[in-house]
Amino acid sequence: MKLLAYVFGAMAGAAAGPLNAAQFGTVDPSSFTFLTSLMILLMMILLMMITAGWTPGRAS
């Protein structure tokens, strides 16, 4: 199940890169602020938690 969560996270990242490059025309490290990087990281963690079976509000 953890491998599946990793795969979905990798697929989302693989899709986000080309979409970002198409939107901005180029990929430049200066275009990513700390807040942008943090938001992407939190989205990936949440996606992996949900894919692994975590449900908000459910007791462990």
Residue 59 binned pLDDT confidence (cut-offs 50, 70, 90):
low
Give me the pLDDT at residue 7, please. 85
DSSP of the chain: -HHHHHHHHHHHHHHHHHHHHHHHSS--GGG--HHHHHHHHHHHHHHHHHHTT--TT---
pLDDT in tens, 5-34: 788 878 888 888 888 888 888 888 887 789
pTM, rounded to two decimals: 0.48
Residues 1, 53 contacting (CB under 8 angstroms)? yes
Half-sphere exposure (Cβ direction) of 21: Cα atoms closer than 13 Å: 8
Q: Are 7 and 46 in contact (CB under 8 A)?
A: no
